[in-house]
Copies of this chain bind each other. A is one copy, B any other.
């Protein structure tokens, strides 16, 4: 089955393997008339580019995006937007060794079981490079959200057991440290932890948090295309994500109704909530307050520490994964979570435009066609 397309009205289709010629994405259903340049996309891609800090892989890729279609005179035309990033640093020889065995924590085994064989070079389709297409698509979705005054703030909430302290929360700090943490002190301590783990030839996991402001109330389609359901799918589809929460998330399990319910109040004719345990979503529909989601990201599976595994032919062996790998996935995944979130929000906003007949009549009346 085809699994490389996401979205209903606003849709992305990604393609490409770690060590193939290129990776890319087709963004379809993008409205006409948006100013869009390669630079808009590049800014997003640069946030996930390798080799930016001592904690990320030194693979030599500049990840330059090329816009191939759907733009005319600097504006989107409504036609599909095809984007490509050529793979430069793909020395397949380096990976010939892993062809024969299954790396623990990777999809090598499951790809072989599913497809009968696999493109083993750098993980092939299951490599993190697959997310380039998501991020390029997310950059366009973000341009659309921007015009609707909706903003997304995404950052590392935890690196291993180092969590940010909300008393130190400073959004402008996020891009000041290579770990994308909004708390300078936590970032410093997390850096220490990573150095330690690298010395141990090991890796750590973490948590990414995403705050969405400006989302109008009324977005989400009961009962299966709820806003939270689609956000959960979008974010869980990112490699290494093992959990997803909205609002108080798992903490609701030991809360009470009286604590967890957000009261309503009205002031000057405007209705608002007095708390936001729900994380901005009630009954699967946005309630107009900040949307809060969190994703749990597992530790990098590629570690230099000795691990036990089997070869394709069933021989039990010990392996030390060669090459220089990130000791942490979280920082580079921040923009991927933001991108999948942005794409989902745009798609859900578009889907919500037909909820009421009065607004539909008004829409078509205002149209001179």
Contact = CB atoms under 8 A, between A and B. Distances in A.
Contacts of A8: 1-2, 8
B3 A226 contact: yes
Interface in A187-219: 197, 202-207, 216-219
- Give the secondary structure class of A's interface: mixed
Nearest to A240: B252
A193 B245 CA distance: 25
Interface residues of A, number: 169
Interface stretch (A39-47, A54-62, A176-184, A310-318): A310-318
A69 B3 contact: no
A125 B252 contact: no
Interface in A255-310: 255-266, 269, 271, 274, 278-279, 282-288, 296-303, 305, 307-310
Contacts of A355: 1, 31-32, 78, 114-116
Interface string A130-174: 100000000000001001100000000010110000000000000
A269 B84 CA distance: 43
Contact of A356 (B33, B82, B221, B224): B33
A230 to B, nearest CB: 7
A266 to B, nearest CB: 4
A282 B160 CA distance: 21
Contacts of A161: 254
B217 A255 contact: no
A118 interface: yes
Nearest to A221: B3
B361 A363 contact: no
Contact of A116 (B69, B260, B354, B358): B358
Nearest to A7: B2
A101 B266 CA distance: 12
A257 B13 contact: no
A198 to B, nearest CB: 11
Contacts of A225: 1-3, 237
Given A105-B278, A107-B285, A236-B244, 19 more contacts: A1-B355, A2-B7, A2-B221, A16-B69, A17-B79, A32-B117, A32-B356, A33-B115, A72-B121, A102-B271, A114-B217, A202-B258, A204-B257, A216-B367, A250-B250, A256-B299, A257-B301, A269-B314, A359-B366
11 contacts: A14-B80, A17-B70, A23-B69, A72-B124, A76-B357, A107-B284, A147-B361, A226-B237, A233-B236, A252-B299, A359-B363
